[in-house]
Amino acid sequence: MKSDVLEIINAVNVLYENPKCELMFSSNYELLVAVILSAQCTDKRVNQVTSELFKEYNTPEKMITLSQDELENKIRSCGFFHNKAKHILEASRDLIEKFNGEIPSDKEKLKALAGVGEKTANVVLATAFGEPAIAVDTHVFRVSNRLGLANSKDVFKTQKQLEKVLPKELWIKFHYALVLHGRYVCKSQNPNCKECKLNKLCKFYQKGDKYVSW
Ligand code: SF4
């Protein structure tokens, strides 16, 4: 492994000692619903919505008692509410019919559920089951490419590059760490590079490149 990449890995590892998922959930099913809702939406907003939604609808069986319109109204502020409601209801029916209402711990089975792609499956695998997985969301994608841990404009290729460069035991931790760094420091439009504790190692900052507003 290149020494500069190793330095970045060590620095992130120290900076984010114990990073955690900021979505609130109390079961694997709640986690899945929260992750589906989090697409193009902040965790803060998702937590506001789910804190009400999960009071009554916290299992697939209870969720499917809602009509599409009723669920849309409850999740409207998360954006893309039509598709999100459709996916949550379809995934809930699939969970009941195929998996006895339980969330499967197998990636391909997860990805067969409505609304669950590579990123969502990886978040669930890592967060619910502690399985090594790197979910590349918008923050992980942006930060890892700016730092120089990855070098791709493609999300899936970025995931593969991160899997190659990071020790497997750090995959889960780095997903959370890069999400937090992207959310609070390395923002899309105005990265706080002067205050960033990784700036001495950051490829974009050191090269003085124009920031790409991913
Ligand atoms: S120096 Fe700037 S671009 Fe690099 S990781 Fe920090 S905030 Fe992001």
Separation of alpha carbons 134 and 179, rounded Å: 11
Cα(158) to centroid(ligand 1), Å: 17
Does ligand 1 lie within 6 Å of residue 178's CB atom?
no
* 22 token code pair: 């900021």
CA–CA separation, 92 vs 86, rounded Å?
Answer: 10
Closest CA to 205 of 162, 153, 147, 149: 147
CB 146 near ligand 1, within 6 Å: yes
What's the mean pLDDT in 69-84? 98
* Residue type, position 5, single letter: V
Encode pLDDT of 85-134 as tens digits: 999 999 999 999 999 999 999 999 999 999 899 999 999 999 999 999 99
Q: How far apart are CA 168 and CA 82, in angstroms?
A: 37
What is the reported pTM?
Answer: 0.92
For residue range 186-205, what is the model confidence (pLDDT) as tens digits? 999 999 999 999 999 999 89
